[in-house]
Amino acid sequence: MTKGPSSSQETVLRLFPGPGGPVPLRGLYLDESLRPSGTPARPFVYASFIASLDGRISLPDPDTQTRKVPRAIANPRDWRLVQELAAAADVLVTSGRYIRDLAAGVAQDNLPVSDKPEFADLHEWRRARSLTPQPAVAIVTGSLDLPIPEALLHSGRRIYIATGAAADTSRTGALTARGVHVLQVGTGSRAEGRALIAALAKEGFGNIFMTAGSVLLNALLTAGVLNCLYLTQACRILGGRAFETLHTGEELNPPADFKLRSLFYDGGGNGGIDQLFGALDYVAPPTG
């Protein structure tokens, strides 16, 4: 890290746990207390979301009409932290929908870790730890409608698809022929959360970063395999009728509980929007 905590542009305020005070934004989620530290024997499964005060994680993009992180809350300071979480990952778990958006040229961004110069330190961070240049990618899909771009196939990452055992074998065969590894992690057409994480751990992955949305989060939560939610709360109300929130699915019974690990206030350099960066650890319900 080259920059010190010299101005509010570069720092956020630690609110919890105390003692409070300014800390650098860069490196926040790579700090030992917050960075993912799973092993294949004990995988660490984490997700990251930015949500508005009224709970929107996505709205239709005005140009493409595809659902995206709302422009009114997407911002480079949160994106920096997402990139840090990706830098720590052994595998990124994404969705069939994201791959279709990528192929159609309407994806929000390329999969991290970004090659842009401002993230060069994250590539160095991986190199220093003898990690592969980029995390692997696991695409969760039921439809198998996956026009995986050649650029992604030849990006030097291991590419997996995770799907159910009922998957169309001609489609899985075609993907295998393109160098994709197929994980069958469900009995029907869908991937099941517990089997998905077990299969990724068996492939040697410890830090498993879920970058998809509320449907996959549901699969992980109902299986009780999510460990940590990194949640940015943007202090803005957006409205809009065609929106998604953090979770899609039946009412959770019991509810999924989380314990706050850390909270930071970001009031600097975000074009006037305040935001809170929280890390929340999943608390499994008592057994028996």
Ligand X SMILES: NC(=O)c1ccc[n+]([C@@H]2O[C@H](COP(=O)([O-])OP(=O)(O)OC[C@H]3O[C@@H](n4cnc5c(N)ncnc54)[C@H](OP(=O)(O)O)[C@@H]3O)[C@@H](O)[C@H]2O)c1
Q: How far is the CB of 196 from ligand X (least distance, A)?
A: 8
Exposure string for 243-280, b = 16+ CB within 10 A, e = fewer: bbebbeeeeeeeebebeebbbbbbebbbeebebbbbbb
Residue listed under structure tokens 């040229």: 105
**Binder of ligand X out of 86, 111, 122, 140 (CB under 6 A):** 140
Stretch that binds ligand X, among 38-46, 115-123, 173-181, 213-221 (CB under 6 A): 213-221
- Told to check if 86 binds ligand X by CB under 6 A, we report no
Nearer to ligand X, 30 or 57 (CB): 57
Nearer to ligand X, 88 or 92 (CB): 92
- Told to check if 61 binds ligand X by CB under 6 A, we report no
Q: What is the largest CA-CA distance in the chain?
A: 58
> Which amino acid type is present at position 71?
R
- Told to check if 216 binds ligand X by CB under 6 A, we report yes
Stretch that binds ligand X, among 15-23, 29-37, 112-120, 135-143 (CB under 6 A): 135-143
Nearer to ligand X, 39 or 64 (CB): 64
35 contacts 279 by C-beta, under 8 angstroms: no
Stretch that binds ligand X, among 17-25, 89-97, 250-258, 277-285 (CB under 6 A): 89-97
The DSSP bridge partners found for residue 259 are 281
**Binder of ligand X out of 44, 49, 79, 119 (CB under 6 A):** 49
**Binder of ligand X out of 14, 26, 35, 67 (CB under 6 A):** 67
- Told to check if 12 binds ligand X by CB under 6 A, we report no
91 contacts 38 by C-beta, under 8 angstroms: no
Nearer to ligand X, 117 or 213 (CB): 213
14 contacts 34 by C-beta, under 8 angstroms: no
Nearer to ligand X, 206 or 213 (CB): 213
Angle at 274 between CA 273 and CA 275, to 5 degrees: 115
Q: How far is the CB of 264 from ligand X (least distance, A)?
A: 17
Taking CB under 6 A as the criterion, which residues in 166-195 touch ligand X? 190-191
Which residue, among 40, 35, 13, has the nearest Cα to 81 in the 3D structure?
A: 35
Nearer to ligand X, 54 or 124 (CB): 54
Exposure string for 40-61, b = 16+ CB within 10 A, e = fewer: eeebbbbbbbbbbeeebbbbeb
Does an H or E element contain 128, and which? Answer: helix 120-128
- Told to check if 75 binds ligand X by CB under 6 A, we report no
34 contacts 81 by C-beta, under 8 angstroms: no
Nearer to ligand X, 20 or 147 (CB): 147
Q: What is the pairing mode between strands 59-60 and 67-68? A: antiparallel
Interacting residues with ligand X (CB under 6 A): 49-50, 57-58, 67-69, 95-98, 108, 140-143, 145, 190-191, 212-216, 219, 244
